[in-house]
Amino acid sequence: MGTSVLIGLLVCLVYDVSGKAVIVHKRSSTCYGDLGCFSTSSPFFSIQRPINFLPQSPSKINVRFLLYTRQNHDNVHFINMNDYTDITNSQFSGGRPTKIVSHGFLENGFVKWMKDMKDAFLTQGDYNVILVDWGGGSKLPYTQATANTRVVGALIAKLIKFLQERGDAKPQDMHIIGHSLGSHIAGYAGERTPNLGRITGLDPAGPYFAGTDKLVRLDPTDATFVDAIHSDGSPLITLGFGMMQPVGHADYYPNGGNNQPGCDKDPISSVLVEGSLYNGGKQYVACNHLRSYTYFTESINSRCPFTSYRCKDFDSFQKGLCTDCSNNNCGQMGLHADLYKPRAGTVNTKYYLDTSANRPFCRYHYQIQVTIGSTSKLWRGKLYASMHGTKGEIPDTLLTSSSQYFTPGQSYRFLATAPHDVGDVNDVVVHWHHQSTLLNPFQWNPFGVRNPTLLISRVHIAHASKQSTFCTRGKEGSLETDTTVRLYRKC
Helix (H, G, I), strand (E, B) or coil at 289: helix
SS3 479: strand
User: Are 386 and 393 in contact, with CB atoms under 8 Å apart?
Assistant: yes
Task: Establish whether 203 is a catalytic residue.
Answer: yes
Rounded CA separation 334/314 (Å)? 19
Q: Looking at this protein, which amino acid is placed at residue 490?
A: K
Catalytic residue among 28, 102, 138, 180: 180
**Catalytic residue list contains 29:** no
Whether the Cβ atoms of residue 203 and residue 231 lie closer than 8 Å to each other: yes
- Report d(CA 118, CA 10) in Å as an integer: 39
How far is the C-alpha of 415 from the C-alpha of 318, rounded, in Å? 6
- CA dist., res. 219 & res. 217, Å (int): 6
Q: Point out the catalytic residue in the list 289, 365, 431, 463.
A: 289
Residue 106 φ/ψ region, left for φ over 0, alpha for ψ in the -120 to 50 degree band, beta for the rest: left
If phi over 0 gives left and psi between -120 and 50 gives alpha, with beta otherwise, what is residue 464? left
User: Catalytic: which of 86, 133, 173, 203?
Assistant: 203
Beta strands in 286-424 (DSSP E): 307-310, 330-332, 349-353, 364-372, 379-389, 393-398, 404-406, 411-418
431 among known catalytic residues: no
Catalytically active residues are: 180, 203, 289
